[in-house]
Amino acid sequence: MQSSGLQAVIEISKLATRFGEHVVHSELDLEVRRAEIFALIGGSGSGKSTLLREMILLQRPDSGSIRVLGVDLQELGDEEALALRRRWGVMFQHGGLFGSLTVNENVGLPLREHTGLADLLIDEIAAWKLAMAGLKPEVGAQYPSELSGGMMKRASLARALALDPELLLLDEPTAGLDPDSAGGVDALVRKLRDLFGLTIVMITHDLDLLWQVADRVAVLGEGKVQGVGSMSELSRMEHPAIRRFFDGPRGRAAQERGERSSKPR
Amino acid sequence: MKPMSVEPAAIDQPTRQDLALSGSWTARGIGAIEHQLESVRVASKTEAIADGARIEALDTAGAWVLQKLLLRLRGEGIVVTLRGLRPEFAKLLEVVAQHVADKTGKPAPVASQPWAALERIGRSAEAAFGQTVALLSFVGESAVAFAGSVAHPARLRWRPVLYNIRSAGFDALPIVGLLSFLLGIVVAYQSAHQLRQYGANIFVADLVGLSMLREFAPLITAIIVAGRSGSAYAAQIGTMSVTEEIDAMRALGIAPLDLLVLPKILALLIALPLLTLFADVLGVFGGMLMARAQLGIDFDEFLERFVKAVSTTAYLIGICKAPVFAAIIAIVGCFQGFRTKGGADSVGRQTTLSVVQSILLVIVADGLFSIAFSALDL
């Protein structure tokens, strides 16, 4: 399904974003390769979410270029934008599920909108995607307002996977989850990559997720990428913006856990 | 994978025992053959070979369909061998196989059945009764809170009261003024023709004065405010309860009634009579303009007759309705806001309900006023 090689799925160069006087990104460069699990970290207000929104055409940068799946986002017609939007799946931080639809309808919506499949088949596929995201079949008939936070995230993930995207973007996939569910997300993210060759970009502060799952991590700060590499590479860097993630008791504990368990490949 | 140019999935049967699969077996590619798959027949209790070498792309939807086909054929006692599939596709098919096997025999849970007619009537009657009881208890709670704030005036929050007077009262002046002005014009215009036939031109002052001051001005003002402010109250409180702000308030020991409801009721109690007075003035002015244009009655003449025809009682009757309408609008709006449960959908529904119910109740109350006043010979 995927062409092999270390092709770049996302290429960002000389990106600049400003909100009025406030500079969010300046001269930011970043590259995400095919079939890798890439994590973005950085303090509050470092522009992680803005960067994610710019990658998925929800926001326009002031200057610079972003290429996603080989398409330049700056010069994109409506047709091409729609075609591109079908090739990625996004899981929003608070789910973004439609309150007027059941969970099953939410998951089936992209299929209903963009393919000509029969309703019965769509329902079956939606039920399977829910199961894949670790939800019980009964959940499908419920409305999003009846779900717990963790279930909402899983349902949102199932919807992001509905069209078999090539690129999956996750905004805080484990925030607000109990440790057991968060562990489930770890395993799920890895399984998806191994199974479908998905490229996964996530914003997270979950140190365990970073150590156990992420192939490469970019640290954002002061409008730039301060460092990119695997967690063990980053842990040897001296930049103060990077050190903040490793020093302190939680960072050290996660590092020990991460280095003990060799990353399964 | 090039999703731009998908070769649709295809299935051929070169001989009875051979299936040749090709094209993109993806969510976008399998639409064409979905129905064809059901009609694929192979003689039962035989062996068949499915050739997947020419499948160019396979995603979960395609794998699902393919696996269902294989499962059906195997269910008919046919030994199907799938060969030539690319390794990554084979891996995907295996994952699907586990799931299809888990699922067979377990129908997907269905959402609750639609209700029968009789059940629907019963349920909506029960819901209407429940809502009436809840509204009454909300009126009671608001009254208790109101009494509490009268006993301890220092506890009352004046800032939100003033803010609400501005937003529901002062900001509504242009629209209330315009509509009652137009209403005055319409009343005078409609009656001009009739009155001229009897040579009773001057009675236009009676008609416009009494109808505007007693009925139209209070009613049109109440309807505008219900649409403008009642709906805003319901939407604001509804959104707050969806985002758990109401719960947060309760947890912090702040009574939502004191902070959200009382200031709104008080503000409308003050603003609506003033708006009604404004509507009286503009409505009569509209009638006056029309009387001059259509019936040749000067402003002086009109006002002279107006003072004789319209008693202070008529004016006071109109004004004293306004606080009652104000209480109805504010209480219904807030009440529907608090009944919001779930998400954005529910906010919209409760907001609609608040406008419909408050206008309905305002008109019912107006009818009751008419009966009461005629019994009192006013």
The CATH number linked to B83 is: 3.30.750.24
The enclosing H or E element of B273 equals helix B262-295
Report pLDDT digits (tens) over B236-294: 999 999 888 888 888 888 888 988 999 999 999 999 999 999 999 999 999 999 999 99
For chain A, say whether B64 makes contact (Cβ under 8 Å).
yes
B176 lies in a domain?
yes
pLDDT at B342: 79
User: Across-strand partners of B18?
Assistant: B49
Report pLDDT digits (tens) over B141-166: 999 988 988 888 888 888 999 999 99
Same structural domain, B159 and B16: no
Whether the full predicted model's pTM is greater than 0.90, yes or no, is no
Name B229's Cβ contacts closer than 8 Å, sequence gap at least 6. Answer: B164, B167, B168, B172, B268, B329, B330, B333
Of B103, B110, B344, the CB nearest to A141: B110
Same structural domain, B176 and B48: no
Q: Please check the confidence at residue A123 and state whether its pLDDT lies above 70.
A: yes
Helix, coil or strand: residue B46? coil
Contact B65 A121 (CB under 8 A): yes
B144 lies in a domain?
yes
Same structural domain, B137 and B92: no
Of A87, A141, A196, the CB nearest to B111: A141
State the average pLDDT over residues B52-65: 84
Which carries the bigger pLDDT value, residue B230 or residue B111?
B230
Q: Which residue of A has its CA nearest to B58?
A: A1
B115 lies in a domain?
no
Contact A164 B344 (CB under 8 A): no
Q: Which residue of A has its CA nearest to B4?
A: A83
Instruction: Supply the range of the domain harboring residue B220.
Output: 126-375
> Which pair of tokens denotes residue B367?
């009818």
Contact A100 B111 (CB under 8 A): no
Of B31, B57, B342, the CB nearest to A116: B31
pLDDT at B4: 46
List chain A residues with CB under 8 Å of B106. 137
pLDDT at A6: 56
List chain B residues with CB under 8 Å of A139. none
**Other beta carbons within 10 Å of B346:** 18
B3 lies in a domain?
no
Q: Supply the ipTM of this predicted assembly.
A: 0.74
For chain B, say whether A145 makes contact (Cβ under 8 Å).
yes
Same structural domain, B363 and B225: yes
pLDDT at A221: 85
Q: Please check the confidence at residue A59 and state whether its pLDDT lies above 60.
A: yes
Q: How far apart are CA A107 and CA A141, in angstroms?
A: 11
Same structural domain, B155 and B231: yes
For chain A, say whether B63 makes contact (Cβ under 8 Å).
no
pLDDT at A43: 82
Q: Please check the confidence at residue B109 and state whether its pLDDT lies above 70.
A: no
B37 lies in a domain?
yes
> Which pair of tokens denotes residue B325?
């309408």
pLDDT at B326: 96
Domain boundaries, chain A: 1-87+166-265, 101-164
Report pLDDT digits (tens) over B179-221: 999 999 999 999 998 999 998 899 999 999 999 999 999 999 9
B316 lies in a domain?
yes
State the average pLDDT over residues A81-103: 87
CA contacts within 13 A on the Cβ side of B214: 18
For chain A, say whether B106 makes contact (Cβ under 8 Å).
yes
Q: Rounded to a whole number, what is the distance in Å from the CA of B348 to chain A's nearest CA?
A: 11
B217 lies in a domain?
yes
Strands of the sheet with A224-229, listed across from one edge: A88-91, A167-171, A199-203, A37-42, A216-221, A224-229
Q: Please check the confidence at residue A2 and state whether its pLDDT lies above 50.
A: no
B118 lies in a domain?
no
Lowest mean pLDDT among A182-196, A218-232, B303-317: A182-196
Fold of A1-87+166-265: Rossmann fold (3.40.50)
Of A1, A118, A137, the CB nearest to B57: A1
List chain B residues with CB under 8 Å of A164. 26-27, 59-61
For chain A, say whether B5 makes contact (Cβ under 8 Å).
no
State the average pLDDT over residues A203-222: 87
Same structural domain, B99 and B157: no
Q: Please check the confidence at residue B106 and state whether its pLDDT lies above 70.
A: no
Q: How far apart are CA A189 and CA A212, in angstroms?
A: 11
B5 — pLDDT class (breaks 50, 70, 90): low
For chain A, say whether B25 makes contact (Cβ under 8 Å).
no
Contact predicate A55/A49, CB 8 Å: no
B6 — pLDDT class (breaks 50, 70, 90): low
Strands of the sheet with B79-83, listed across from one edge: B10-12, B18-25, B47-58, B79-83
Query: How many percent of chain B have pLDDT more than 90?
Result: 55
Contact B99 A196 (CB under 8 A): no
Q: Please check the confidence at residue B44 and state whether its pLDDT lies above 80.
A: no
Same structural domain, B71 and B134: no
Same structural domain, B98 and B156: no
Cβ-based contacts under 8 A for chains A and B: 90
Query: How many structural domains compose chain B?
Result: 2
Interface test with B, best of A164, A188, A193, A194 (most B CBs within 10 A): A164
CA contacts within 13 A on the Cβ side of B167: 15
Same structural domain, B76 and B172: no
Same structural domain, B97 and B185: no
A76 — pLDDT class (breaks 50, 70, 90): confident
Same structural domain, B230 and B267: yes
Average pLDDT, whole number, for chain B? Answer: 88
Q: Rounded to a whole number, what is the distance in Å from the CA of B103 to chain A's nearest CA?
A: 9
Report pLDDT digits (tens) over B333-344: 999 999 998 788
For chain A, say whether B110 makes contact (Cβ under 8 Å).
yes
**Other beta carbons within 10 Å of B339:** 20
Same structural domain, B89 and B190: no
